[in-house]
Structure 1
Amino acid sequence: MSTAPQVYGNFDLIQNFKLDFADVVVSKYRSRVTGLSIVHIDYEAPIVNGYFVVPTEIFNDSGCPHTLEHLVFMGSEKYPYKGIIDHLANRGFSNGTNAWTDTDHTAYTVSTAGEQGFLQLLPIYVDHILYPTITKAGFVHHIDGKGHDSGVVYSEMQGRENTSGDLMALRMQRLLDPPSSAYRSETGGLMEALRRLTVEQIREYHKSYYVPHNLSLIVTGKLSSGTASLLSVVQEQVEPSLIAHGHNRGPKPSGWKRPFVETPSAIRPPIAASIKEIVEFPEQDESVGELIISFLGPAPNEFLERKARIFSLSDILLYSSTYLTSSAAAPLNKEYVEIESPLCTYIYFSEETRATRVSMPIYVGSVPTENLDTFDQKLKASFQRIVKEGIDMERIAMVINRDERQLRSKLESAKGDTFSGTVITDHLYGAEDGSELGASMAEFDTYAAVKKWSSKQWTDLLQKYFIDPPSVVVIGRPSAALADKLEKDEKKRLAAQVKKLGPEGIKATEKELEEAKAEHDKPIPTEILTQFRIPSVKSISWIPVQSVQQKGKGRSAAPALSSSDLGKIIASDGDELPFFVQYDHVESDFVSIHAFFSLEKLPQRLRKHISTYLSAFFALPVKRQSGERLSHEEVINRLDDETVSYEIGLGVGNSFAEMLHITIKVETVAYETAIAWLKDLLYGSEFDKERLAVTIAKIQQSLPEMKRDGSTVLSSLWADLMFSEKSTSRAGGILPQVDFVPKLAKELQESPEKVIADLEEIRKHVTDPSGMRFSVTGNILKLDHPRSTWTKYFQAIPVLPLSPVQFSSQVLGPIGVNPVKKAVVMSLPTIESSYVTHTSKGIKGFDHPKYPAFRVALEVLNATESYLWRYIRGSGLAYGAYVILDVESGLLSFSLYRSSNSMGAFKEACTVIKGLTDGTVTLDDTTLDAAKSSIVYGVTKTVSTAGRAADVSFTNQALKGVPQNYQMELLEKFQAVTKEDVLSVFRTYFLPLFEAKTSVAVVVTAPSKADEIDAGLVGYGFEVERRTLDIDPHEMEGSDESDSGSESDESGLH
């Protein structure tokens, strides 16, 4: 690691240290002239990440911080062109910039493959953050030609504002903090306030908070000349501009108050008395609700105020909560979740860093409505009982040891980027001289300290923070009446708005919108783009992977093992195995066992059982090969004690969803332990009626909460339309499970032997030797017996021919095979926007010769600030719009996420594609170059850690049937793609995606929008089927769908 200079130009080194437990060096600098802070977390990695953080405090619900976040990307003083920052980022081996707005800060991010693009982009990005144009034309809420409200921020908040999570969180903020506090605010902006927000308000807000002494540039990753590379760029290209703007008043200008820390928000008095309030949220199924129970904790930096300890009490509380809820064997889960009539489906302890004292919310999901009012009292009684009985010291030792293993595993994959959040928090609340930064990262010192704690110290902690003090409880109660009211109120509001505007007013708003679009659609001069040099792919260092694949004894002529170190070790370790194993070696402290099983031969009647089989897999009694019988609690406790992680699911990422996939990750010394567990879990688990009843009850009770999410419902509805009953992944979707799970629960009570026999039959098909593939990834050269260990546990597997991998194209239904004219519109009363997927035929096959051109074409359309972004997101028609190619199924899809006007968005997408093919929309060379460059980042990211590189090696060779380094080979092919290649793909494949005669459409939308969307699709030539997802609570005790989390997944997009 390079030595950090003490002084570099205007910048003074204020902190510099190496982590004791990782090869990571942290350096913090501050400009004595402008006050700008720089933190570099230095470690070896192919990806460089930037987090540019501004503490943002707002005392109302106007949405100023959030709206400003979006406006920053509309151009800057030096680069006054909308989206130019993303055009340049795409040229610099990035996939564009990003941002998020939290309660207390806004963070602007970018990641690049290698440093060259990053350092070129940095001064341009800072110019956008500190000196954005903030024009009226770029303002993001508007009224469209139909009199409807729209805009990017508006679309986002429309998709969130009346969800249970947002409604409850906002009420909790109001109850926890006094009227003088900014922590009470909805920083995203409430829709009513967004409709009134002005660009002048945003300019004033920017002037107050977006100043150098309030900005920290946090950079993680390797720079060729160390931190000096970063300092050089900032000193020479950023500081002069800041000084020229008069920002040269030092780190603490006169009158400056540090947000949250030195303002009224810092006043967070203790909760005087317990408060309980009910918040209704729209939901037709009124069977289950939610809770947030909040307590106030210690100061955010109490670990430094108390010199005897270098760990935060809040960290300890999280260990304590992990002890209470981390698995099915944890005390609270045993009492509330792992029972035949669950009182909830999860209890999650969280922590929110705040000034003065942290907030400690407990989130409780899928609580039967009859238990909502008394749940918090019952939980407090449970805490009291645990304190009285004392802590299980063996269990808490296991929890701490496992947490320590998982952190080491995370450090190996994310390295120094693991601490990006810690550094952000330090900028917000830490000592200004950086003196608390090192202690905040001393994770392993915390582990060492708490391992010495007594049972009384743990129970004293629970008593102090969760039993003695009052709490604030927000109950989220589902309301069918509110769902109906919101629909009627929105229709009424829009009608009043249209009436108030009148025909002339609507024309005026439409004209204003078109003029604004014209202003910021002005082309970026080509010379500005081409001045930004595209880096060299040769500058990226790839992680080496040694690979040996053996398909199984007798299946083919045994290939000669390579002369690599790995080949020699495998060859010298026993005989060839009778089943498929691939070994992929990388430098690591861990090893992962992956097992893939074909579900092709599974009978149709058993496919809907898959959710139950997966959910129960790690939570059943097991008879081990040694003859020992373990209860389900003993299984869970031992797995937690002996592994880093374990999981089961369908497929890998979004691919191979017709295969069952099990992963067990352990420290290298526990290799045999992982294989033994895999064998015993597969063959030795006992389908116990009581345990199955608990599993099915949890699934059933989670369904009502799940069905509230538009993305989850859309995914299942789309799968129902496109795939046949031969598809196991389709059968596990929310819509089939809503009908099936209650029936299964009833059958288990009436004929348990029938359900158990069905699960045994699933086991028989899962363990069919012809469909087994095993993978070993990690530090295989450190293993004593990488091959022969398998013989010890799987010696009974017979030699059978290996079945080909089943692809999703083999389970398409009639509509999936021939997508023509069909459209389904489903009304979902819990959402206010629309989620849409249009699908047509694409290309099929992982090595299809047209794939390189297809991939570049997709990037041309999807890239940040490229065509779909500008025409749809930039026009405020949807929060997300993208085209996806699935080469496994051979399907091409266009999707809209949180759309305020889905038919308008579809129309714009049609315009783009038709325009690109007929020449009325230009595809220029700079766009093509940027697309190819952006792909480099995507490829590098997939193999950016040792674990990822090893996994890709297996997936390529064993599942996709392509060479080990196929991604790297494709990079050369991407560079060879021409403009005509891309246009040819658009003409042949993308045009049919926007024509009814060659595509199908699936829409999940708010009831108030369904009629309009139906009519719009009919107008395009689709034959529309209408559906409504309404679940009668009297017909089903535990209903529908699942909160997929996709809303939060995308919430960081700017």
Structure 2
Amino acid sequence: MVSNGVSLAAGAVLGEMIAEFMLVNMVTLKHVEVLEYVSSRSGMRVFLMEYESPIVNSYYIFPTRAENHEGLPHTLEHLIFLGSALYPERGTLDLLASRAIATGTNAWTDVDHTVYTISTAGLEGSLKMMPVYLDHLLRPTLTQDAFITDVHRVTPDGMNSGTVYCEMKNHENSADSITNFELMHLLYLSESGYSMVHGGRLEALRRTTNERVREYHRRYYRLDNMSIALGGRLGDRAAILKAVAHAEAGLISSGVETHPVDAANYFGIKHWDDPVHCPPLDETSHSTVYFPSDDEEVGQFTMAWRGPKWDEFELCRAISLLGLYLTHTPISPMEQALVYTKDPFGSGVVFSHEILKDGHFTINVQDVPCNPSKLDTIESRIRELLLEVFDNPLDMQRLRALILRECMAHYRSLETSPAEVLVDGVISYVIYGSDRKDLDEQLEGNGQMSSLLEKDEEYWKGILWQYFIDAPWVTVTTLPSIEESERIERFEQSLISQQLEASDLDFLREQEERVELIFSNKSGSVPPHVMEAFGLVDVSKIQPTAWPYMRNFTSIGYGHDGGRVLQGRVQLFNEHGGSIPVSNWSSLVSDLYSLHILMQVNHIASDFVRISVVIPTSHLGLSHMEKQSLTLLCALLFQSDFGEGLGPSMPADILIRQLQEYTSSYSANLGFNSTFGNPDGFCELIQLSMTCHLSNYERVFYLLQRVLRDVRFTPTIISSRVSSLLKSFKKKGRSAKSIVRQASQAMRLRRDSALMSNGLGQQLEYLHYAEESDMTELLQGLYYKLFSQGNMVAHVTCDLTQMPDSWLRGWSVFSGSDAMDRTLRELMGLRSGADAQPNDVNGVFMSMASTDVSFLSFVIPAPLGHLHPEYALLCVLSEYLCMMESPLFRAIRGGGFAYNYSVSYSPNLGELHLSLQQAVDVLGALRATREVFAQMATGHLLTDSDVLSACCSLIYSIIEDEETLSEYSYQTFQDAFRGVGSDFTATLLTQVRQVGVYDLRVLSQKYLTEYLSFGGSHRTIAVVTNKSQADEVHTGLSKMGYGTLFRTTARNLLGFASRGVFQELDLYNSDGSESDDDDELMDTDIDNSDADMDSSEHDGSD
């Protein structure tokens, strides 16, 4: 691996010493190198992870363990950021981080560790931030002021506030949190650290103290319990280690305690060796728990077993693979029997394996109807299925294909998300590892997979019997409950009264005045000399990625896209970019010129090929129902039969087998970043994507051709998929975030637009209709209409030096457009803002039993398009408002009003969005927001230093969008749909650097003042709150000038989104159940069916 001409490991020898750091471990995985060093002075460990990326990721790792439910690891994580011995002013860490070309800092707490992160554009910023970060980590101030703002306090009106409290209130009564809490107690018993809620239970958060946090810090935040991992283009390891050693020496000289170690044999402090944390599970047990809900239609069922020990690597892999064999894809035994059947038990079956000191694994059936025929039999049915699998021959071909696919997916992830993959293995090794070879086993484990490929059926059945069938298990049935929601509502009301009675009101008022002072920007800010001493990373040294690509279409106009026109309409971009330039483009140019289909080809260093085909729909004159059918059609494309055509007929189960065998991922989606029920601004496009190893390109290309030509829908498969999707909608219908999003869209967009047609409300009604009707003819006709057109555009990302000869000529079978001289946006029928249609209703207010917090969405008009003169300015304004320790951040999150918020600009829709999320005091959050906006609009708050920080932070975000070569390739393709040239990123970076205080002041006067009043169809507000606060919040909004908000229910809102009338939809199945789900991907690769889609690698397990 070469970075800037220097190999990280060049000349490295185990045992070498650099600045008192000993090299104790080296691991190489394909293009990635990982080196482990240990400080003999302190025991601190440093991991250097070298891979190709302009972003350098830093991770500061502390193995931690919760000892009760107070959430001390989590509360400490929040307080760390609020000041240190050398930098006592709140916000210093994040403001300096922006000057290091980062978007601030972040952290997460898990059951066995806490990790602090910062990602910078280039190595310089990471090294500049290291001593500042370490001072915060090991010498934090941990003041009482920080505790009452960011952990917990009681307000003068008896409410509970604080950032951590907001966060946990949003989680504690969710179905998943309730399930996990009960599950861990059953699996590990009450004395184990694994059974403790590391985030904190609300009752315990209300009684914890700052001194408890300080004491926890003293015991866990030590140099000999700390590791640093850096990943990206690193280069000279000696320079990095000397910088770490310098920071370490500064800490030691400041009094941080050290414990010299034998570096060669030091593995850190082990917090989980006490047997109390992993008691044996001796007997089977069952539990039923309830979560608050407005209905009692569907719940979930979880079955769990204890797994192998952490260092039984091959066995851990085997159990994970066996779990996939049982539950992965519609052809797996459990999906076939429980989901893809006439009377399904649920919408999906998910296997998960948590690898701890002693791990556990679960099978979860989602969205189980709450009727006895399902709830009383589901456990026995799963047991029957396990025994059936054991008693019958295993499908060894499928099992081996799964193993190979997991290997492919792992190596693919090293290209698309190397930082996440590597740091996960490093963290696990730091916590539990006791041998140097454990790191290699965690990061690659190639020997494990090779060994497992050789295992016979007896081996696999032995594991199935020992761990799934013969071992004790636990079950948790999680049910929705109206009574539980009413109980929580009564409790919250009584808690306010109790807290007021038990508190000194004068003290509470004084405390609140102190909080207001802290966030009034008058109680102290980062001194200018601190900012000046830190300096600014030289942005000019940071170069965006620029690898070559070629296309036979135009985004702006031939000769204006930024590429070199080679032959006819074929253009070459970044001809000399990339470390592996393609020397002879002539044959590729000729082949690309001769193609009829529109195509872009990106050359990157990769062992994989990623193929995408985008199909427009807007110019086809689709009926409203055909538009509503697009989501279902996408869900069926990779799960349906092939008729005779390009090959013989093929049943769906064979297709799925071949997809699993030859691809690392595959998907069919609306737009570029859609989730099920929440389409994006490009949802008038359908995108099919497939990723495979280079050796499988021809097989996968053949399958893609057949998906585009030979799909034949059948009533059985359609019915099964519709039933599954309907059941999965229950989660989305209970999601306050989803409801407020749908409400906001329903007030602004045409109901017959593709975006609304595939949104939550209309999909609920459409799928109910589809369940009762034969949709075969409609879907088949829509399929022919979509895929027989010539306006498709393809994108291939690969290493061109490794592709087969004449690979491009196979694409000649596809027809093309008759108007090749038009831009891609014109050919695709894309028109920014075309779906906008103001409604008579411009404000709605709802309350839901399924949420303990509030959500608000406030949308105003903004310029359309990425080339508008104000585009860069609005991006900087949004970044300024959202960056860590901005005035708005301090007012909302710092004030404890809400856990999250955002201000985002959508150029494709022409909108500026204000979103308040997970708010325990939405009125306070809105008041604080209005105050900040009013001050900015009158020229206050904005400073040169803060605006510079915002510009630097935005520069990082722009570069991060192209962090890996795969992401870079995808961005260049998306740019064509945005209607911008190849120099868009470079031009935007230049424009951002030029933004100043005056620009944002003018912009604030023009746009932020729109949020200070309400009225007119051009502004919309949607609010969802919990039932216990509904009347108070609604009254408060009226007093603030929002009295015209129409008060309704979530179900009536869905009716409005579907029909334009606030009326509950008739969505009941024959069993009386209603249907919905949260953010399921419109992704037919079951790997990621309920994960968030990455905007650049969005096809399944990528």
What are the residue-to-residue correspondences of 1:410-809 with 2, within 5 Å?
Answer: 410-415=413-418, 417-431=420-434, 434-501=436-503, 504=506, 506-517=508-519, 521-551=523-553, 558-559=568-569, 561-562=571-572, 567-573=585-591, 576-600=594-618, 601-653=621-673, 654-747=680-773, 752=774, 755-767=775-787, 769=789, 771-781=791-801, 782-792=803-813, 794-795=814-815, 803-807=826-830, 809=832
2:946 partner letter: T
Q: Contact 2:17/2:23 (CA < 8 Å) preserved in 1?
A: no
Question: Per-residue deviation at 1:487?
Answer: 1.9
Query: 1:18 and 2:21 equivalent?
Result: no
**1: CA distance, partners of 2:617 / 2:983:** 28
- Where do 1:321-400 residues align within 5 Å? 321-355=323-357, 357-369=358-370, 370=372, 371-400=374-403
Say whether the 8 Å CA contact 1:953–1:965 is kept in structure 2: no
What secondary structure, in the 3-state scheme, does the structure 1 residue paired with 2:477 have? strand
Q: Does 1:44 align with 2:52?
A: yes
Equivalent position SS for 1:874: coil
Q: Does 1:229 align with 2:232?
A: no
Deviates more, 1:882-891 or 1:633-642: 633-642
2:171 equivalent to 1:160: yes
After superposition, the Cα gap between the structure-2 partners of 1:80 and 1:4, relative to the gap in structure 1 and judged at 3 Å, is: farther
In the alignment, the residues of structure 2 paired with residue 527 and residue 47 of structure 1 have an alpha-carbon distance, to the nearest angstrom, of 28
Per-residue CA deviations over 1:281-301 (Å, capped at 9, x if unaligned) read: 112332221122111111101
Partner amino acid for 1:525? P
When structure 1 is superposed on structure 2, of 690-699 and 794-803 the one drifting more is: 794-803
1:1012 corresponds in structure 2 to 1032
Which of 887, 894, 898 is the equivalent residue of 1:867? 887
Q: Deviations over 1:438-475 (max 9, x none)?
A: 23223221221111010111111111111111101111
How many Å apart are 1:723 and its aligned residue?
1.2
Counterpart position of 2:919: 899
What is the distance in 1 between the residues matched to 2:689 and 2:927? 44
Q: Which residue of 1 aligns with 2:185?
A: 174
DSSP 3-state at the match of 1:249 = coil
TM-fit CA distance, 1:800: 8.8
Secondary structure at the counterpart of residue 385 of structure 2: helix
Farther-moved stretch of structure 1 (593-602 vs 630-639): 593-602
CA deviation string 1:521-559 (max 9, x = no partner): 51110121122232223433443332322249xx99942
Deviation of residue 1036 (structure 1)?
A: 7.0
Q: Deviations over 1:375-410 (max 9, x none)?
A: 222212211111111211111111111111212211
Aligned to 1:306: none
The superposition leaves residues 709-760 of structure 1 with CA deviations (integer Å, 9 ceiling, x where unpaired) of 222222222222221123222222222222332222112xxxx2xx222212
C-alpha separation in 2, matches of 1:542 and 1:876:
38
Task: Tell me the secondary structure at the aligned position of residue 358 of structure 1.
Answer: strand
User: Is 1:838 paired with 2:858?
Assistant: yes
Instruction: Tell me the amino acid that sits aligned with residue 933 of structure 2.
Output: I
Distance, in Å, in 1 between the alignment partners of 2:683 and 2:395 is 40
1:956 is aligned, of 969, 972, 975, to 975
Cα distance in 2, alignment partners of residues 587 and 302 from structure 1: 34
2:797–2:966: 8 Å Cα contact kept in structure 1? yes
1:243-299 Cα shifts (integer Å, max 9, x gaps): 54251223499xx99453233544x23211100000111123322211221111111
Letter in 2 for 1:923: L
For 2:303 and 2:404, the matched residues in 1 are separated by 28
Shift of 1:302: 2.2
Provide the C-alpha distance between the structure 2 equivalents of 1:787 and 1:858, rounded to a whole number of angstroms. Answer: 42
Q: Does the 8 Å CA contact 2:62/2:114 hold for their aligned counterparts? A: yes
Q: CA RMSD in A?
A: 2.7
Specify whether residues 520 and 346 from structure 1 end up closer, same or farther in structure 2 by C-alpha distance, changes over 3 A only: farther
Letter in 1 for 2:181: L
Distance in 1, matches of 2:190 and 2:261, equals 30
Partner of 2:302: 292
Match for 2:77 among 64, 69, 78? 69
1:408 to 404, 407, 411: 411
- Written as runs of structure 1 = structure 2, the 5 A alignment for 1:184-195 is 184-195=195-206
CA contact (8 A) 2:844 2:1023 kept: yes
| Equivalent-residue separation in structure 2 for 1:541 and 1:729 (angstroms) | 36
**Deviations 1:83-140 (CA, angstroms, capped at 9, x unpaired):** 2111111111111111011111111111111100000101111111111100000012
CA separation of 1:574/1:104 partners in 2, compared to 1, >3 Å: closer, same or farther? closer
The aligned counterpart of 2:161 is: 150
Contact residue 839 and residue 999 of structure 1 kept, 8 A = yes
Equivalent residue runs for 1:265-304 within 5 Å: 265-266=276-277, 268-303=278-313
Choose the corresponding residue for 1:90, options 98, 103, 111: 98
* Count of residues paired in the alignment: 1021
The structure-2 alpha-carbon separation of the partners of 1:744 and 1:72, relative to structure 1 and needing over 3 Å to count, comes to same
- Which moved further from structure 2: 676-685 or 842-851? 676-685
2:77 and 2:950 map into 1 onto residues whose CA distance is: 25
Q: Structure 1 residues 806 and 126, CA, compared in 2 at 3 Å: closer, same or farther? A: farther
Q: Post-superposition shift, 1:153?
A: 0.4
**Letter of the 2:190 counterpart:** P
Amino acid of the residue matched to residue 286 of structure 2?
Answer: K
Q: Deviations over 1:570-606 (max 9, x none)?
A: 3333763333222222222222221222222321132
Q: 1: CA distance between counterparts of 2:64 and 2:548? A: 48
TM-superposed CA distance for 1:566, in Å, is 7.1
Q: Which residue of 2 aligns with 1:977?
A: 995
Compute the displacement of 1:562 (Å): 4.6
Distance of aligned partners of 1:841 and 1:795 in 2 relative to their CA distance in 1, 3 Å threshold: closer
Query: Is residue 608–residue 798 contact of structure 2 (8 Å, CA) maintained in 1?
Result: yes
Deviation at 1:495, TM superposition (A): 3.5
Counterpart Cα distance in 2 of 1:488 and 1:599: 51
- Structure 1 pair 575–988 and aligned structure 2 pair: CA distance change class (3 A): closer
Amino acid at match of 2:835: L
Q: Is the 8 A contact 1:52 1:218 kept in 2?
A: yes
Question: Does the residue aligned with 1:381 lie in a helix, a strand or coil?
Answer: helix
In 2, the alpha carbon distance for the partners of 1:122 and 1:711 equals 37
Cα deviation code 1:311-354 (max 9, x no counterpart): x3111111111222221112221111111221122222212222
Q: Match for residue 897 of structure 2?
A: 877
**Structure 2 CA distance for aligned equivalents of residues 892 and 13 of structure 1:** 52
Deviations along 1:479-518, one digit per CA (max 9) or x if unpaired, are 1211222123212322443455486465344234335546
Distance 1:1004 1:75 in 2: 35
The letter of the residue matching 1:479 is S
CA contact under 8 A between 1:593 and 1:674: conserved in structure 2?
A: no
Deviation at 1:843, TM superposition (A): 1.2
The separation in 2 between residues aligned to 1:503 and 1:62, in whole angstroms, is: 25
1: distance between equivalents of 2:538 and 2:744? 41
Distance 1:1015 1:599 in 2: 45
